[in-house]
Structure 1
């Protein structure tokens, strides 16, 4: 195991169990050990994604303050 991966796992151990599981799923996918089926989106989710893409096309992005507030909200 590389030093960087060991460091990442050590940090992950300090996170809540649900966050650890999310990280584990991502690592398994990247390593090719977990075959996953596509996620089926609801109509609301599809509409939200479409609205986001339209806003991005217009150049409307979150401000630095909004991004920071989101990180704080989620403890990151």
Structure 2
């Protein structure tokens, strides 16, 4: 495991369990062999910005995350 990944995991340990699970699901999805091939080039800047926010320790609150997920409900 790289030092950056170790740092990210340590930051995730400080998050609430439900937020940890959400991030873990995203990591598992990205870790699939073909997951990166599915990223549209126009989405890459947003993904990179999100990763930079994580590195800076900028996380959404539980309320913000729940609101974002609710916005996808039909």
TM-score range, shorter chain: 0.3 to 0.5
Which structure exhibits the higher relative contact order, with contacts defined as CA atoms closer than 8 Å and separated by 6 or more residues?
2
Of Structure 1 and Structure 2, the greater helix share is in 2
Q: TM-score, normalised by structure 2?
A: 0.44
